[in-house]
Chains A and B, each alone.
Chain A
Amino acid sequence: MELIWEGISQAFELLLSLDPEVLEITLLSLQLSGLATIISMLIGLPLGTLLAIGLFPTRRFWLSVVNTGMALPTVVVGLSVSILLWRSGPFGSLGLIYTPAAIVIAQVIIAVPIVTGLTVAALQNLDPRLQLQLYGLGASRTQVIWHLWKEARLPLLAALMAGFGAVISEVGAVMMVGGNLLGHTRVLTTAIVLETGKGEFALAIALGVILLLVAFFVNMVLTGIQQRS
């Protein structure tokens, strides 16, 4: 119990003292997860829209792929991205392994199916005749899609939150492709693993509290936007 309290008090000490190392790890976590979430949204939103309202022969197959992807074992993502980016791998020449870019790639692969799948669910939850009515009112395809997104903005923001939640808390794949290099690819989750491994529980707890607070504040902002709309 004492260990937990010590960890929590150390967390606030680190936060309040603006410890440069903790600050750097926290900022990097936010930057990488934020970027991965934005990229996932840019891919997942159109892809989910296509799967929700598009009519093409392989639609069901791709929906199954996306649904499977939502439960993708992150360690498999880490392994796949590592092999692809490994120095002797197909994209080894790009020199991306153990870089923040590699972390973002892995996080995007994890988040895209989540954002896509939840986008599909959000749009399919709308009245199917709404699309027809919008076209009947003279909307172009772009106007129809824009209005469907507006109508489904609450669940779409939930998709964004779920995507962010998945990447900010991700550790296995990030560790494998990022390498947990201090000042370069060390993020909150990998730092917690490292400190726990070293028996530095207080610091690990402190980082855990920071991770929770970061996730809480980001989601609080998104929830605020969601509920206001």
Chain B
Amino acid sequence: MSEILSIRNVIMRRDDRIVLDVADLVLHKGEVLTVIGPNGAGKSTLLLVLSRLLKPDEGQQYYHGRLLQGRDDLAFRRRNGLVLQSPLLLKGTVLENVITGMRFRGTPKKEAEKSAKIWLKRFAISHLEDRSSRQLSGGEAQRTSLARAFSVEPEVLFLDEPFNALDTPTRTRILADFQAIVASTGMTTVFVTHDMDEALLLGDRVAILLEGKLRQIGPAEEVFAAPADEGVAAFLGADTTLVGRVTSNANGHVLVNVNNQQIEAVADVEVGKDVIVFLKPEDVTLWANEELPPSSARNRLAGKISRVVPRGPLVHLTIDCGFPIGALITRPSFTEMELDIGRRVAVTFKASTVHLIPR
């Protein structure tokens, strides 16, 4: 894929504090790059820098390989599109809002309206064409905002948590429509979110931004399966973080000694090396009996429940196996298995779900 946009050595300061420090970020034609990170990680700042709405204190930006200057800003913005978290619609009808971007670019009104109607249809809001923007629901307003951005046929579409303020059912529906439209148009997209499901669903590549720095970037499945460091792993939800030493390595199957217990992992790490062991709670299977059950999982440990935290339809358990291991279980299973703090249980997990990072 050819490179459309890139930034190099970008630094952004706020009150003498560095809020964004990105050495290199490249966006390829036709890809969806999702940028995820916790609140305050600098995601929106990065998006505004990429869309040239915020001038960084240092660094360069290239567009089709050409170094951009301040005088290129307007032309750049007119070739691309932006959707923010809040729809920020103007007074007037839905149709009037959707043609705004095209009118800024000098498109005649009739032509703009014709094009806008196509996008209203694609976002399933044709029936709202003449409705005042002040009389829309949150979902309808965000659909209008998306139609407005798509109607200018941007080369790159920048989105800053556009579905964040919506309720779950509305969000799910818009997300599905949005995903279908992005896929069918092949639109190059930068999508900022703190929601991992959105990132996984939409992103061809995922970039993890923590404390203003790009800590990892790569194909979505790869990033989620193999976090680059402790911070990324913690953000991605690997709540079991253990320190151990590799005691054997047989063709990529390694044994790690953690508190005198052996954990098997699929990795290629030298014997004797200290490592951090990451394990996601959803990869851990819980068994009500302490006796080790029949399972193909290579890791089988016995322990005692030390903590119970409800998480929506699930329950997060911490099991003390000589070291803490996190596990997720559905509420009905939790009740059915009569689990509680102090109850002795067994956990199993596959060697392939254990991720090691050399220290």
Contact = CB atoms under 8 A, between A and B. Distances in A.
Interface of A: 127, 129-130, 132-133, 135-140, 143, 147, 150-151
Given A127-B88, A136-B158, A137-B148, A143 B48 contact: no
Given A132-B48, A150-B91, A138 B84 contact: no
Interface string B141-153: 0000000110010
A138 to B, nearest CB: 4
Contacts of B30: none
Given A129-B84, A140-B104, A143-B104, A135 B90 contact: no
A76 to B, nearest CB: 40
Contacts of B91: 150-151
Interface of B: 48, 51, 53, 74, 77-78, 81-82, 84, 86, 88, 90-91, 100-101, 104-105, 148-149, 152, 158
Contact of A138 (B90, B104, B158): B104
B103 to A, nearest CB: 9
B82 A137 contact: yes
A159 B88 CA distance: 24
Given A136-B51, A139-B104, 8 more contacts: A133-B82, A133-B84, A133-B88, A135-B53, A138-B152, A143-B104, A150-B91, A151-B90
Contacts of B86: 127, 129
Given A130-B88, A150-B91, A137 B104 contact: yes
Nearest to A137: B101
6 contacts: A129-B84, A136-B82, A137-B82, A137-B149, A150-B90, A151-B90
A138 B48 contact: no
A40 to B, nearest CB: 25
Nearest to B97: A137
A138 B105 contact: yes
B81 A136 contact: yes
Given A136-B82, A137-B104, A147 B88 contact: no
A218 B152 CA distance: 43
Which of A133, A135, A137 has most chain B Cβ within 10 Å? A137
Contacts of B77: 135-138
Nearest to A141: B74
A136 B152 CA distance: 11
Given A135-B77, A136-B77, A140-B104, A147 B53 contact: no
A89 B245 CA distance: 92
Given A137-B82, A151-B91, A132 B152 contact: no
A136 B104 contact: no
Contacts of A135: 53, 77
A148 to B, nearest CB: 10
Contacts of A151: 90-91
A137 B78 CA distance: 7
A137 B53 contact: no
The 3 A-B pairs with the shortest beta carbon distances in the complex, nearest first, are: A136-B82, A138-B78, A137-B101
A132 B81 CA distance: 12
A129 to B, nearest CB: 6
A127 B90 CA distance: 11
A129 B88 contact: yes
Contacts of B101: 137-138
A136 B84 contact: yes
B231 to A, nearest CB: 29
Contacts of B104: 137-140, 143
B132 to A, nearest CB: 13
A88 to B, nearest CB: 52
A113 to B, nearest CB: 28
A42 to B, nearest CB: 24
A140 B74 CA distance: 7
Nearest to B74: A140
A141 to B, nearest CB: 9
Contacts of A139: 104
Given A137-B104, A151-B90, A132 B84 contact: yes
Contacts of A138: 74, 77-78, 101, 104-105, 152
A4 B77 CA distance: 66
Contacts of A136: 51, 53, 77, 81-82, 84, 158
A70 B91 CA distance: 30
Which of B48, B81, B82 has most chain A Cβ within 10 Å? B82
Nearest to B100: A137
Contacts of A129: 84, 86, 88
Contacts of B90: 147, 150-151
Nearest to A153: B91
B84 A137 contact: no
Contacts of A130: 88
A70 B183 CA distance: 56
Contacts of B149: 137
A143 B51 CA distance: 18
B156 to A, nearest CB: 12
A175 B93 CA distance: 50
A136 B149 CA distance: 9
A84 B247 CA distance: 93
Contacts of A140: 74, 104
Contacts of B81: 136-137
Contacts of A127: 86, 88
A225 to B, nearest CB: 15
A69 to B, nearest CB: 30
